[in-house]
């Protein structure tokens, strides 16, 4: 059976804060084209409407009052900071009005301040955003004047975090993606008129800006987003929602007493071809599952910190370059992916790290806890999960000879886990996950998850340093003893 390999992607650095995606969930089974409709469902289904009507009013007319302000005293060309301050004062009301119009679903008012050449593309972005749902919106300028903003007498540019809370995000959050916004300043009847002449993602590609019409199927807490014109993804959408919802519900139910707070919900994008969503301009197209923490429009540094909210992408293109079939095995694959990727989302939700590096959290630890949840969820299905599609990262399904040859004193490196060899990558994922599977067996699921969360509490944590010492309440075993306990268990269970 062919399996798709999944790799890690490093997303662009935003304002000094590294945003990285976490990947590596289950590999897709062999695939074939879907030809029939999924069973009927009561799941709510929405899709973007046709292009929203454009405002007939000219830019700066009463329909867009925030784009017009009394003309300030012209700033001297020798005083760029004064010019910046003037433009910022004009820009803030426009941003506030745009956010209100987005939240209110008022497309004509929103588009009135955009140059005609932008209105079709931005109108589709607006339609996609409101189809997904806008519970709250706030557009926050980043503090980028010294490095990125530009100001001239008649134009200026700013980086703005488009903070949008969907119905599936936690209350009080405003996750977003930074956009580069160009503005032209003109004068009409003694008032400054602002016209948006440029509107594009600044650092990371935004799936809402795909230039396509998106559809959404959703429950109260999970949304699955797909290209409405793609028949394979439309066919998959309801099944993906059910499979993902079941896996996430199971995982959340296991958290009782752990102290971890599960996210309110999930936003999952479906892909069946290489994509650039959430990737930097120089990153290669992505072909695997990812979980990406967004920027936080409300956080310190004006959008320069991680949001507690994430977005998940599920790849439905098999290693044979055919869409994964929407059958029993395909749905189990999506369920495995959801269990894995939602664990990354859970850890992002509870993270106390302001910065991410290769060692904070260590890659093998971050992937290991996600693998353990994926494997334990599959095991919890019992006979219902035994349908001829082995769990790709369960050590019990890895060749013992491979495990024996690769078990060493050092845990898998980042490059080993994300190896181009599907066999090696799966083996290193399994080795990483086995540490947390041992924690589950020796101490219980709650402790396993607490150790995983501790990797996101402060920098440079070693999971083996966090194994509880049963003989000393609140203490931890020496690293050497913890490592020896795991190796003895691993050898007896998988190599004996």
Query: Is pLDDT at 145 greater than 90 in this prediction?
Result: no
Average pLDDT over residues 456-477: 94
Tokens of residue 110, six digits: 């929103």
pTM for this prediction: 0.85
DSSP state of 420: S
The 3-state DSSP class for residue 149 equals: coil
What's the pLDDT tens digit per position in 418-452?
Answer: 999 999 999 999 999 999 999 999 999 999 999 99
Which residues contact residue 280 at a Cβ distance below 8 angstroms, ignoring those fewer than 6 apart? 10, 11, 12, 203, 204
* Residue 296: pLDDT band with limits 50, 70, 90: confident
> Domain ranges in the chain?
10-32+213-495, 49-208
Q: 114-138, pLDDT tens digit by residue?
A: 999 999 999 999 999 999 999 999 9
User: What's the whole-number average pLDDT of the chain?
Assistant: 85
Rounded Cα–Cα distance for residues 400 and 408 (Å): 14
Q: What is the CATH number of domain 49-208?
A: 3.10.450.50
Structure tokens at 197: 């002449």
Q: Which CATH superfamily is domain 10-32+213-495 in?
A: Neutral Protease Domain 2 (1.10.390.10)
DSSP string, 172-224: T--EEEEEEEEEEEEEETTEEEEEEEEEEESSSB-GGGSSS-EEEEE-SSEEE
């Amino acid at each position: 059976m062919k399996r798709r390999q999944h790799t890690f992607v490093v997303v662009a650095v935003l304002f000094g804060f590294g945003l990285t995606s976490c990947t590596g969930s289950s590999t897709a089974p062999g695939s074939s084209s879907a030809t029939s409709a999924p069973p009927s469902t009561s799941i709510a289904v929405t899709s973007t409407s046709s292009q929203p009507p454009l405002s007939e009013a000219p830019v700066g007319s009463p329909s867009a009052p925030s784009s017009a302000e009394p003309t300030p005293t012209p700033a001297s060309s020798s005083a760029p900071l004064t010019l910046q301050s003037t433009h910022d004062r004009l820009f803030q009301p426009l941003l506030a009005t745009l956010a209100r119009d987005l939240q209110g679903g008022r497309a004509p008012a929103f588009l009135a301040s955009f140059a005609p050449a932008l209105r079709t593309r931005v109108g589709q972005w607006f339609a996609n955003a409101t189809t997904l749902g806008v519970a709250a919106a706030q557009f926050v300028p980043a503090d980028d004047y010294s490095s990125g903003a530009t100001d001239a007498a008649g134009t200026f540019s700013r980086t703005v975090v488009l903070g949008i809370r969907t119905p599936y995000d936690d209350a009080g959050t405003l996750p977003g993606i930074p956009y580069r916004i160009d503005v032209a300043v003109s004068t009409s009847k003694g008032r400054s008129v602002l016209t948006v002449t440029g509107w594009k993602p600044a650092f990371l590609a935004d799936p809402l800006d795909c230039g396509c019409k998106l559809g959404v199927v959703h429950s109260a807490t999970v949304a699955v987003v797909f290209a409405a014109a793609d028949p394979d993804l439309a066919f998959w959408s309801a099944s993906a929602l059910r499979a993902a919802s079941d896996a996430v519900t199971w995982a959340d139910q296991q958290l009782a007493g752990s102290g971890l707070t599960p996210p309110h919900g999930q936003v999952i994008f479906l892909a069946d071809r290489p994509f650039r969503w959430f990737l930097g301009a120089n990153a290669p197209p992505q072909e695997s599952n990812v979980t990406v923490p967004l920027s936080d429009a409300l956080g310190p540094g004006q959008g320069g910190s991680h949001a507690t909210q994430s977005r998940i992408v599920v790849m439905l293109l098999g290693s044979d370059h055919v869409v994964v079939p929407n059958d029993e095995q395909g749905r189990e694959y999506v369920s495995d992916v959801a269990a894995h990727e939602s664990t990354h989302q859970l850890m992002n939700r509870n993270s106390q790290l302001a910065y991410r590096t290769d060692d904070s959290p260590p890659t093998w630890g971050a992937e290991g806890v996600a693998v353990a949840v994926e494997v334990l969820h599959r095991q919890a299905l019992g006979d219902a999960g035994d349908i001829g599609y082995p769990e790709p990262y369960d050590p019990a399904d890895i060749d013992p000879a491979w495990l024996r040859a690769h078990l060493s004193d050092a845990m898998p490196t980042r490059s080993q886990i994300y190896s181009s060899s599907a066999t090696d990558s799966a083996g290193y994922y399994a080795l990483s996950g086995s540490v947390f599977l041992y924690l589950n067996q020796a101490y219980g699921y709650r402790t396993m998850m607490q150790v995983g969360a501790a990797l996101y509490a402060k920098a440079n944590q070693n999971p083996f340093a966090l194994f509880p010492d049963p003989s000393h309440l609140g203490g931890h075993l020496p690293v050497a003893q913890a490592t020896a306990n795991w190796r003895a268990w691993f050898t007896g269970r998988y190599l004996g």
